[in-house]
Amino acid sequence: MESGAGMKPLKAVVIGSGNVASAVAPALEKAGAISVECVYSPTPGHAATLAEKLHGASAVSEVQDIPADAELYLLAVKDDAIAHLATVLKPNGAVWLHTSGGVDCSVLSSLTSDYGVFYPLQTFSKGVEVDLSVVPVFVEGSTSVALDVAKRLAHAISDNVHEADGATRCKLHAAAVFACNFTNHLWAVADDVLRREAGVDIHVLEPLLRETLRKAMLVRPADAQTGPAVRGDVNVMEKHAALLAGDEAEMYRYLSRHIMDYYKR
């Protein structure tokens, strides 16, 4: 990683205190890329919790209390909140970046001419450590200044940095929802079924889950597919659906049909 040795940390304000902010802000500060002056969250306790993990950062919960003299403003908030914040925050000549994969960087254009995106393609949860050095970070900038800052931050914490425009990031984000969010929900359903029907939990599937991911990375996931749907084993599928709850059965049948149709192409 390019640590930016010899470069003075950017004086930064972090807007947001959720999963992404809680993982990225301390990592960037530890790497020497930024020095966080302030953390903003509308929930005072959340802002204070993140500020305590940083060196000398204050915590504020009112927009008007956000310092106006920072060099960098990093918006790590829910996608739907970015556009609203851009209408209530004070414009200045700093660099403004958001961390979303699904929102175009132009949403920040009313705040500065130097705006962009710093998007780490990873799932974050508070209290769960992540090795950011292997996480792909996708960056974009409206100007060379904004792009250089986004790259500087990305290289400070990751060895896997790429430029990507809004359309590309949106596609990456959609794929990530399938690979991560939908898959995790299916694990949650599997855990419910195991607890309800078999008296065990998701841990019994850990070797299966690890092998499934290993194979998907060795060959194309489509070439690693197994199970009753790809075999067209209708009797087994109906037996499974019969023991499931209403929504679970509907989801099972839909996904089974989708797999069968996929392999009829």
Q: DSSP 3-state assignment of 24?
A: helix
What is the structure's pLDDT at 144? 98
What is the structure's pLDDT at 7? 84
Element (H, E) at 116: strand 115-120
Domains and CATH numbers, the chain: 10-164 (3.40.50.720), 170-262 (1.10.1040.20)
What is the structure's pLDDT at 5? 53
What is the structure's pLDDT at 180? 97
Q: Residue 80: what are its φ and ψ, rounded to 5°?
A: -70, -20
138 token code pair: 């996708």
pTM: 0.91
What distance in Å separates the CA atoms of residue 205 and residue 132, rounded to the nearest whole number?
27
What is the structure's pLDDT at 82? 97
Rg (CA), the chain: 22
Q: DSSP 3-state assignment of 213?
A: helix
What is the structure's pLDDT at 3? 44
Average pLDDT by consecutive 10-residue portion of the chain (265 residues)? 68 97 97 98 97 97 96 97 95 97 96 98 94 98 98 98 97 97 97 96 98 96 97 96 94 97 91
Question: Angle at CA 109, nearest 5°, toward 108 and 113?
Answer: 120
